[in-house]
Amino acid sequence: MLQITGEFTKPGKAHALHDKTEGAFVQAMSRANWPIHWIGMISLSGRKRALFFTWYDSFEAWEKSDAALGKKTALSVELSRDYIADGEMVDSEDQGVFVYQDELSRRPAADLSPMRYTDISTYRVRPGHEREWAELMKTVKGAYEKAVPEAQWSTYRQLYGGEGGTYQLRN
């Protein structure tokens, strides 16, 4: 499962200023040898925002991580201070929980760390049309297999934090 957190920055507080407050989280987690990692990205279009992607093997793994964090008092206190500082940079925040859809994905990239840019597309499927969406995606996937064999993307279906029938495709 994938947790995506989006932070919309205040005017004049994006990029370098916001990067500094986010760096405090990285340093705190690194000092604590925290086993959960995430990838952060900033938008190149639309409202200024930072996106943070955290993957877990399951909802149970996510729950265990949160429980373990709650037991790390010093780290929790440090992160609370970091959240306050980061709040000075952020206008609003959004969060969604997504599950990977293997049958709607095509040769997904296993390692995002060397990537400098990525494209994320959001599709909203009307209620009652999920089956049609899945069939359409399978058709598109088949066409790409013939026309552009190197094409790849990962598809995630949003479960929580947004409208039903929302899918994110990352390539």
CB 82 within 8 A of CB 22: no
Tens digits of pLDDT across the chain (171 residues): 899 999 999 998 888 888 889 999 999 999 988 888 888 888 888 888 999 999 999 999 999 999 998 888 888 899 999 999 999 999 999 999 999 999 999 988 666 777 788 888 899 999 899 999 999 999 999 999 999 988 889 999 999 987 777 888 777
Domains parsed from the chain with CATH numbers: 2-96 (3.30.70.100), 101-170 (no CATH)
Residue 104 burial (10 A CB sphere; 0-12, 13-18, 19+): buried
Residue 81 burial (10 A CB sphere; 0-12, 13-18, 19+): exposed
DSSP letters, 75-138, are HHHHHHHHHHHHHTTEEEEEEEEEEE-GGG-BS--S--TT-S---EEEEEPPTT-HHHHHHHHH
Cα separation, 90 vs 112, in Å, equals: 25
CB 9 within 8 A of CB 49: yes
